[in-house]
Structure 1
Amino acid sequence: MKKSILIIMVLFAGFAFGQGGPKIEFKAKDNTIDYGTVNKDDDSGMRSFEFTNTGDAPLIIIDAKSTCGCTVPSYSKDPIAPGGKGKIDVKYNMNLGPIRKTITIETNAVNYDEGRVALKITGDVVAKPVVNLLEKKSTSPMMN
């Protein structure tokens, strides 16, 4: 009887401490991509969150949703093998002003609560300055 209890305790301890399965690790620090300050007309708004499956089972991206329609995530539906790499592409529509958006990824990863990972994009979109070539410059050497 004592032997059976000991075996059961060892099995439970193994499950508690050795959580195997798929694990997702993102390359971006704090799972955030900073666009910086970008010109609306000069940037496509496309960025990629690169990740690695550091676990011991295939990783599956189940779904990806953004906080608004201005940010569209896309991803491969194929499982990522242990040690394999993947990416989640994010297309922001480049509205003028600050960028503060969250994309929630649902996975089968065991290293995030319920497999949900929050990815963030930040930055600032500005209009490209308009240069008027007909406007006189006050610092022209010809004007003196």
Structure 2
Amino acid sequence: MDLYWASSPVLQILLYQEAWLNKLALQEKAFTNYSTHLRKQKHMKLFFLSLLLLAGLTSFAQNDIKFNKTTHQFGKIKKGVPATFVFTYTNNAAKPVVIEFANAECGCTKPVYSQAPTPKGKTSTLKVTYNAEAVGVFKKRVDVKFAHSNQPYILTIEGEVVEAKK
């Protein structure tokens, strides 16, 4: 009787139909995987293109103002004697620029700057004074924001305060 069912045309049709459906399911799965792969590839291309565009715009915006130096090393300074450094910047933008604000990370550091616009192609300064009251190594940051820019420029002063000889 088992032999009969194995050779039965009905069973053979059912087995063929099942194999055909399995093959179709595999093809559909392969197509779905491939289309998912293509979508991911498209998203990756868009992501990298956006990243390159953003990097280009950021570097372009950062070139509008060029500081001669963004970090100053005072070396060893005496306790109780304020240390000052003057940062110089050049306006490479097409129009005059104005410092909107300059914020120091603590009260021991004081930035001083002009409110006057810096014309195209001209230089201007920002003076930073550190009040050396605590002995030890220091590294202080001043964030400078220009009116035309969304991103602050970061200036750093560092050094070591030592006891004054008596």
TM range (shorter): 0.5 to 0.7
Q: What amino acid is the match of 1:125?
A: V
Deviation at 1:124?
0.4
Partner of 1:23: 64
- Structure 1 distance, partners of 2:143, 2:86, is 14
Percent same amino acid among aligned pairs?
28
- Structure 1 distance, partners of 2:67, 2:148, is 12
The answer to which structure has the higher strand fraction is 1
Give the counterpart of 1:57 among 95, 110, 117.
Answer: 95
Gaps spanning 5+ residues in structure 2: where? 1-55
Stretches of 4+ aligned residues off by more than 4 angstroms: none
Give the counterpart of 2:157 among 118, 121, 125.
Answer: 121
CA contact (8 A) 1:23 1:109 kept: no
TM-score of the pair, normalised by structure 1:
0.67
Give the counterpart of 2:138 among 49, 74, 99.
Answer: 99
Deviation at 1:49?
0.8
Deviation at 1:109?
4.7
Partner of 1:75: 113
1:40 maps onto 2:76 in alignment: no
| SS of residue paired to 1:129 | coil
- Structure 1 distance, partners of 2:125, 2:138, is 21
Label 1:76 to 1:62 Cα distance change in 2 as closer, same or farther (>3 A).
Answer: same
CA contact (8 A) 1:24 1:109 kept: no
- Structure 2 distance, partners of 1:49, 1:109, is 19
CA contact (8 A) 2:77 2:83 kept: no
Gaps spanning 5+ residues in structure 1: where? 1-15, 131-144
Q: RCO higher in 1 or 2 (8 Å CA, sep ≥ 6)?
A: 1
TM-score of the pair, normalised by structure 2:
0.58
- Structure 1 distance, partners of 2:112, 2:73, is 18
Deviation at 1:121?
0.6
Q: What amino acid is the match of 1:128?
A: A
CA contact (8 A) 1:56 1:82 kept: yes
In the alignment of these two chains, the number of paired residues is 108
